[in-house]
Chain A
């Protein structure tokens, strides 16, 4: 490999490898980031504690999966539907794409703030709007039972456009032949959709799903700013919990093991989806 690329590779290695190695190392130690005591090797002790003794961890694991599944499913359905609707002729596609971008690029902290306002149980506009169709009022993120869906709605608002955009790009590359033959055979629009469009779109959709699932598993900003994992621990996903443990309680060892678990989870989901995608070819 040419010399001029070396600094780049070295930089990547340092930036990425160092934290990975450090985290793996720490995950089998017990350390409280104190300047007085040094890390103690405890083998799989952290992992055992997480899975067998720590309720809060199991809760966090469940919530992470719940949030991801809910949000991803919602975004997928909405995103693809939206793409199909938008995939028709009209002027101003650029403008529409711009508008769609806005939720994705807006600063998550600002978004979280506005949604907190809108979700306010007594003064927020969300209760007003759902009241117009006879629903609510709800306590939204103050209600342990619906806080996760409420947060998923915010994530959906933010990222559905991504799925739409990816799907639109995918739609643009679909071949004509299958449709021409189908038309000749007298197929209806719906039949063409279910038998041709969707299957052909599958790889694209799966890619979108992959990216969104990974990001949902790792969502932090919105949850932390809006609820800090509350009420109680009802929205404390693994990411938020790890943050508390590592940067608030300073159990660096335990936090590292949680990170390894979270990473394994994300990796597992990714590998699964990659496999499904390969099968789709």
Chain B
């Protein structure tokens, strides 16, 4: 039987009509199929949570992922080393633009992704950039360009043992004065599983690493790193008070050897039940609530960082993100990975599975996403992310060096030395470092 020409014509048109909406809706995840991506990750709760899902990305896109993981200090050094050489093969790396972004942007190492975001052929229609918390979006912008996509959000917050506070009838501190009083009251009281005494408070003291957490104390006291004219002012009266407080807390009510503690040691002390309070990033939540390693699962409260004597908030807000070096040869594929890893589905997965605090509002509203997150954490995170300052590091180019300089003053404070002199010296050093490295 011969089909008439008209029938042919009609069927072709019909099939085209039916097919095109479907074609138009389907974002092509396979557009970089066959590429191999080199991804550098910091050893971090987020990395631990996303690793089991990486195969899903490979299946979805046909892109092969080679992920390298390093502990934080080595990770930062490695990334810096490779980018400095100008001949790196990194395609995507975990980054905190607020820490190294300025340096990287000025050196011309980062690929801005504004154009990628705006391009519907490259970005899935349901990506929804505005779904990210405002402060995290801001944290990804350096000198007007978006240089990364947020993978999580964190504040410096106060983590405390609910059971210990209850047992000794101490009020959970909401101001710095109350913080000191609580540390004093609880120091030496029995608080471990087997009734051993513990410390009032634990926090980082290790030079550069301590700087980011000290930032909360600094801002709560009413000071900050640089004045509007970019002169260091963290050694003003309020800054010195903050330093003295930080040093006093750790020296009198903290574990011995605090000057050597990074978050690995401090969080360990806290999760072994040996401290009543811990001020650090609340992104450590998965570490503290890890049933396999922590002895304080379910006993920890997450509060907003205490306010200062003048009512100032100290909370800092920071976001890790994924960034792309300008030298990447596989930018399209890299972009696909970046957006996949930060898409709603993945953020929901890491948050609901491991408690990694994602940066998407929609996930915060989703009951599945909130399943593992205790109510007080959600609240303190929400408030903290709104009032918090993104300046958890001095906004300079030579961040590592300045952090070391300021860290030295923190160590002096912990050791009970001349705080004022140390603070002034740190300010002089920072000024000198800035002069040397920021000639524009």
Contact = CB atoms under 8 A, between A and B. Distances in A.
Interface string B97-117: 000000000011000000000
B158 interface: no
B317 interface: no
B344 interface: no
B329 interface: no
Interface stretch (A2-10, A32-40, A213-221): A32-40
Given A33-B84, A141-B260, A231 B400 contact: no
B256 A122 contact: yes
A142 B207 contact: no
A231 B410 CA distance: 11
A231 B415 contact: yes
Interface string B188-221: 0000000000000000001100000000000000
Contacts of B411: 230-232
Given A32-B437, A36-B108, A121 B256 contact: yes
Contacts of A230: 206-207, 259-260, 411
B400 A249 contact: yes
A232 B85 contact: no
Given A230-B207, A247-B77, A248-B77, A34 B107 contact: yes
Contact of A232 (B86, B255, B412): B412
Interface string B413-440: 0010000000001000000000001000
Nearest to A143: B257
B50 interface: no
Contacts of A139: 256-257
A196 interface: no
Interface in A48-99: 55
B408 interface: yes
A249 B208 CA distance: 13
B107 A227 contact: no
> Which of B260, B408, B437 neighbours the largest number of chain A CB atoms within 10 Å of its CB?
B260
A55 B432 CA distance: 13
A248 B400 contact: yes
A142 B80 contact: no
A157 interface: no
A144 interface: yes
A231 B259 contact: yes
A250 interface: yes
B401 interface: yes
Interface in B255-288: 255-257, 259-260
B252 interface: no
Contacts of B408: 232-233
Contacts of A144: 259, 415
Categorize the interface residue count of chain A.
20 to 34
B80 A250 contact: yes
A227 B207 CA distance: 11
Nearest to A37: B107
Chain B interface helix/strand/loop/mixed: helix
B398 interface: yes
Categorize the interface residue count of chain B.
20 to 34
A232 B258 CA distance: 11
A244 B207 CA distance: 13
A35 B257 contact: no
Contact of A34 (B84, B255, B404): B84
Interface in B87-140: 107-108
A139 B77 CA distance: 29
B256 A249 contact: no
A279 B86 CA distance: 54
Interface string A163-196: 0000000000000000000000000000000000
A35 B84 contact: yes
Nearest to A141: B260
Contacts of A231: 257, 259-260, 411, 415
Nearest to A233: B408
> Which of A141, A230, A231, A232 neighbours the largest number of chain B CB atoms within 10 Å of its CB?
A232
A49 to B, nearest CB: 10
Contacts of A35: 84-86, 107-108
A241 to B, nearest CB: 11
Nearest to A227: B260
Contacts of B206: 230
A249 B86 CA distance: 16
A250 B84 contact: yes
A143 B257 CA distance: 7
B86 to A, nearest CB: 3
Contacts of A227: 260
Given A36-B107, A232-B411, A249 B84 contact: no
A144 B257 CA distance: 10
A137 to B, nearest CB: 9
B435 to A, nearest CB: 12
A55 B422 CA distance: 12
Interface in A220-243: 227, 230-233
Interface string A133-145: 0000001011110
B207 A232 contact: yes
Contacts of A32: 437
Contacts of B84: 33-35, 250
Contacts of B107: 34-36
A249 B408 CA distance: 16
A272 B286 CA distance: 58
Nearest to A140: B257
A139 B256 CA distance: 7
A232 B400 contact: no
B437 A142 contact: no
B340 to A, nearest CB: 30
B412 to A, nearest CB: 7
> Which of A34, A122, A141, A247 neighbours the largest number of chain B CB atoms within 10 Å of its CB?
A34
Contacts of B256: 121-122, 139, 142
Contacts of A248: 77, 400
Query: Nearest 8 A-B pairs (CB), nearest first?
Result: A142-B257, A35-B86, A232-B411, A231-B259, A249-B401, A33-B84, A121-B256, A142-B260
6 contacts: A34-B107, A35-B86, A36-B107, A142-B257, A232-B207, A232-B415
Interface of A: 32-36, 55, 121-122, 139, 141-144, 227, 230-233, 244, 247-250
Interface of B: 77, 80-81, 84-86, 107-108, 206-207, 255-257, 259-260, 398, 400-401, 404, 408, 411-412, 415, 425, 437
Given A142-B260, A144-B259, 11 more contacts: A33-B84, A36-B108, A122-B255, A141-B260, A143-B257, A227-B260, A230-B207, A231-B257, A231-B411, A232-B259, A249-B398
